[in-house]
């Protein structure tokens, strides 16, 4: 079967070539003409309606990997203590060294009565952050880069993989991880998600031609580059905090990524997931509201950890 481009180029062959070789019956002639018209109609629809081309392909941001990721910790409070902004089944990036985001909840909303979850004091309290990049998305994957630092405030954080870190491998899913440690190291929460670097020259060309971060965000989102879209939207909002349209678009993007995330599923009084799993819309809405308050993100200074084999 010819493609739309081939059909357009060879339209005379489709509509007349078969007719000149048809010598049998008028029925065969009519069938040939109908097929040619049907193909032309499909091609016209494809050109006239861009959504026709992308609605199926880009309806899902995830990679479809096994949902082994733990993207949120301390789920018994109104908000998870720390939430990675990534999809549980993975998401893709165009960047060799992407900018990655996570959210630390206000400490008065992350309190809990569970003895298995860190207790957080009200007000600012210092905590340690360790970033891991691993060589695959498997649970036992080896770390290829580790960096650590300290912070003491809630809000949206970001970290760009530095030049002294290895680039993401093309076409291979890898795991990135945030380790939160508080109370002098007595409390620890690990959250992680998967990421895959995909190289698409057409998308790269469109990004290079974009006039600003908002245009880039929309191109990334349209092409299912979830991590890059989040970064571009946040960069735009940090400079244009009153752009409610962009804020809504970012919120919709995050909601699409976290809508099936287990951290926002309904749980019992002991914090155990209620089966069958069902989204807790109030918890997700609360998170999105808090996230919207963070128009920009705080860049956290993490120093590479060299010469030490990190624990898993």
Other C-beta atoms within 10 Å of 92: how many? 24
Are 37 and 106 members of one domain?
no
Are 8 and 87 members of one domain?
no
d(CA 231, CA 115): 35
Q: Is 89 helix (H, G, I), strand (E, B) or coil?
A: coil
Cβ contacts of residue 173 below 8 Å, gap of 6+? 63, 65, 90, 136, 137, 194, 195, 196
Q: What is the mean pLDDT of residues 90-95?
A: 97
* pLDDT digit string, tens, across residues 126-180: 899 999 999 999 888 999 999 999 999 999 999 999 999 999 999 999 999 999 9
Asked whether residue 96 is assigned to any structural domain, the reply reads yes
Domain count, the chain: 2
Are 124 and 36 members of one domain?
no
Asked whether residue 65 is assigned to any structural domain, the reply reads no
- pLDDT band at 66; cut points 50, 70, 90: confident
pLDDT at 260 (0 to 100): 83
* pLDDT digit string, tens, across residues 229-261: 999 999 999 999 999 999 999 999 999 999 888
Are 196 and 255 members of one domain?
yes
pLDDT at 2 (0 to 100): 43
Are 109 and 150 members of one domain?
yes
pLDDT at 55 (0 to 100): 37
DSSP letters, 5-70, are HHHHHTHHIIIIIHHHH--S-HHHHHHHHHHHHHHHHHHHHHHH-HHHHHTTTTS--S----S---
Other C-beta atoms within 10 Å of 133: how many? 21
Lowest-pLDDT range of 3-17, 51-65, 95-109, 118-132: 3-17
Are 92 and 40 members of one domain?
no
Higher pLDDT, 131 or 11: 131
The pLDDT of residue 110 is above 70: no
Rg (CA), the chain: 25
Higher pLDDT, 45 or 69: 69
Other C-beta atoms within 10 Å of 170: how many? 10
Are 111 and 260 members of one domain?
yes
Higher pLDDT, 133 or 23: 133
Asked whether residue 312 is assigned to any structural domain, the reply reads no
> How confident is the prediction for the chain on average, in pLDDT?
77
* Chain-centroid distance, C-alpha 46: 27
Are 280 and 234 members of one domain?
yes
Are 22 and 98 members of one domain?
no
Domain hosting residue 226, numbered range: 72-304
Are 157 and 30 members of one domain?
no
Are 29 and 111 members of one domain?
no
Asked whether residue 309 is assigned to any structural domain, the reply reads no
Are 198 and 123 members of one domain?
yes
- CATH classification at residue 80: 2.60.40.10
């Amino acid at each position: 079967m010819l493609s739309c481009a081939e059909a357009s180029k060879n339209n005379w062959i489709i509509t007349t070539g078969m007719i000149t070789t048809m010598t049998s019956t008028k029925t065969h002639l009519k069938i040939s003409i109908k097929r040619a018209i049907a193909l032309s109609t499909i091609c016209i629809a494809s050109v006239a309606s861009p959504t026709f081309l992308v609605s199926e392909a880009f309806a899902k941001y995830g990679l479809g990997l096994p949902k082994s990721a733990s993207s949120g910790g301390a789920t018994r409070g109104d908000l998870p203590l720390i939430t990675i902004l990534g999809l549980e089944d993975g998401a893709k990036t165009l960047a060799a060294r992407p900018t990655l985001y996570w959210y630390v909840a206000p400490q008065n909303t992350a309190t809990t009565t569970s003895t298995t979850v860190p207790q957080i004091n009200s007000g600012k309290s210092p905590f340690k952050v360790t970033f891991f990049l691993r060589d695959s998305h498997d649970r036992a994957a080896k770390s290829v880069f580790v960096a650590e630092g300290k912070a003491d405030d809630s809000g949206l954080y970001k970290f760009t993989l530095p030049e002294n870190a290895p680039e993401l491998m093309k076409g291979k899913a890898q795991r990135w991880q945030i380790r939160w440690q508080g109370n002098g190291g007595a409390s620890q929460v690990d959250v992680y998600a998967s990421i895959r670097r995909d190289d698409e020259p057409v998308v790269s060309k469109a990004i290079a031609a974009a006039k600003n971060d908002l245009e880039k965000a929309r191109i990334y989102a349209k092409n299912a580059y979830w991590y890059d879209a989040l970064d571009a939207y946040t960069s735009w909002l940090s400079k244009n905090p009153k752009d409610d349209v962009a804020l809504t678009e970012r919120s919709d993007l995050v909601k699409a990524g976290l809508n099936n995330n287990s951290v926002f599923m309904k749980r019992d009084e002991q914090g155990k997931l209620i089966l069958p799993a069902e989204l807790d819309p109030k918890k997700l809405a609360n998170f999105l509201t808090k996230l919207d308050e963070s128009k920009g993100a705080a860049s956290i200074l993490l120093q590479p950890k060299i010469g030490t084999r990190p624990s898993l």
